[in-house]
Amino acid sequence: MIRTIVGLIIVLALSAIVISSISDYSVPSQLLGAGRFYTERGVDDTGSVNLVTAVVVAYRGLDTLGEVVVLFCASTAVVLILTLIPIGANPTPPSSIVAFTAGVLPGAIVLFGIYIITHGHLSPGGGFPGGAVVASAFLLVMLGSNTIPGKSKFLASIESLAGLTFGLLGFWGMLTLGQFLNNLVLPAGSPGRILSAGIIPIISLAIGAKVASELSGIFASYRKAGGEE
């Protein structure tokens, strides 16, 4: 009871602070600063029609490399911690709906994920959402089967290969153009075509493969630790 009251008081105080701070906020009518720079120069600089991808992969590519490292650390930590939990003997058997869907849908889901990954510089999408979609197909297959997934060398090697590709592309830009992860070591091409925007499509593929394999690894270790004791 006292917990609820204190929680409510804190939440109300927080909302009062926020509301008072944005009460004199006026809706901006035009872009300023970095946003304006990116919208005016983005296509000419990177060749990517999707400016969000241009910012994520080209302008701030180093941050994205760091982000991939964070995801890698998290998935490693999940696997490490879950080795402390005994493996569940029997995974919960799937219902007939899940089992049937797991036999029908994964191919289409993987195809859709690859579409999102490869069109990252043309339409909303890119490596991270596409990789998550591909990993969801893996999750569906896993939920539809009765067995506990074993160790997968295939997943681990895909993950390492993708990370290596990302890093090597960065060093390629450093060697030829003097900038780590410079986008234009490959020609920018004509914006709007699928083979354009320099190294953005390749980096999208690498990120997609890495995210898909890491999320699949997390799901697999969850599945291993789950089930009835």
Tokens of 47: 């060749």
Tell me: does residue 18 bind other proteins (CB under 8 A). Answer: yes
Q: Measured from the CB atom, is 50 or 182 closer to other proteins?
A: 50
Q: Minimum distance from CB of 156 to other proteins (Å)?
A: 18
- In the region spanning residues 96 to 115, those forming contacts with other proteins, defined by CB under 8 A, are none
What is the C-alpha separation between 95 and 146, in angstroms, rounded? 11
CA 25 centroid distance within chain: 33
Tell me: does residue 202 bind other proteins (CB under 8 A). Answer: no
Q: Minimum distance from CB of 35 to other proteins (Å)?
A: 4
Q: Measured from the CB atom, is 124 or 189 closer to other proteins?
A: 124
Q: Minimum distance from CB of 217 to other proteins (Å)?
A: 10
From the list 28, 23, 20, 45, the residue with the least C-alpha distance to 196 is 45
What is the C-alpha separation between 126 and 72, in angstroms, rounded? 18
Which of these ranges, 29-37, 140-148, 157-165, 174-182, lies near other proteins under the rule CB under 8 A? 29-37
Distances in Å between the Cα of 42 and the Cα atoms of 31, 36, 39, 92, 204 are 14, 10, 6, 50, 17
Q: Measured from the CB atom, is 1 or 97 closer to other proteins?
A: 1
- Of 21, 23, 28, 178, which lies in the binding site for other proteins, with binding defined by CB under 8 A? 28
- Of 65, 117, 200, 218, which lies in the binding site for other proteins, with binding defined by CB under 8 A? 218
Amino acid in position 74: A
Query: Which long-range contacts link 220-224 to residues 24+ away (Cβ below 8 Å)?
Result: 220/142, 220/149, 220/152, 220/155, 221/78, 221/79, 221/82, 222/78, 222/82, 223/91, 223/142, 223/148, 223/149, 224/82, 224/87, 224/88, 224/148, 224/149
Question: Within 10 Å of residue 38's Cβ, how many Cβ atoms?
Answer: 18
What is the C-alpha separation between 60 and 77, in angstroms, rounded? 26
Q: How many residues bind other proteins (CB under 8 A)?
A: 56
Q: Measured from the CB atom, is 32 or 97 closer to other proteins?
A: 32
Q: Minimum distance from CB of 73 to other proteins (Å)?
A: 8
Q: Using CB under 8 A as the criterion, which residues of the chain lie in contact with other proteins when the complex forms? A: 3-4, 6-8, 10-11, 14-15, 18, 22, 27-31, 34-35, 38-39, 42-43, 49-52, 54-56, 60, 63-64, 67, 70-71, 73-75, 77-78, 81-82, 84-85, 122-124, 126, 128, 132, 191, 211, 215, 218, 222, 225
